[in-house]
């Protein structure tokens, strides 16, 4: 995968970029264990998905 960084062309692009960055940060903050998937269509972020894992730390005790 390669990354190309371009400067936003307009103030509207900059504002949208700030909104997307804030949304990603909010999802990341609320995710304990899991993954965040960002969907891009035609160079624009269209969707942010969160998959969260819930882990249980229970130890099974053997029956006597």
The per-residue pLDDT for 3 is 65
Question: Distance between CA 24 and CA 61 in Å, rounded?
Answer: 41
The per-residue pLDDT for 50 is 93
**pLDDT mean over 57-64:** 75
pLDDT tens readout for residues 1-45: 666 666 667 888 888 889 999 999 999 998 888 899 999 999 889
Rounded to two decimals, the pTM is 0.62
Other Cβ atoms within 10 Å of 27 Cβ, number = 17
Angle, vertex CA 51, rays to CA 50 and CA 56, nearest 5 = 135
Residue 43 has what DSSP assignment?
T
């Amino acid at each position: 995968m390669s990354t190309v960084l371009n400067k936003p062309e307009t103030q509207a692009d900059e504002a949208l970029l700030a909104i997307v960055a804030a949304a990603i940060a909010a999802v990341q903050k609320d995710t304990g264990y899991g993954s965040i998937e960002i969907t891009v269509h035609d160079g624009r972020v269209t969707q942010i998905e969160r998959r969260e894992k819930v882990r249980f730390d229970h130890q099974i005790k053997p029956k006597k």
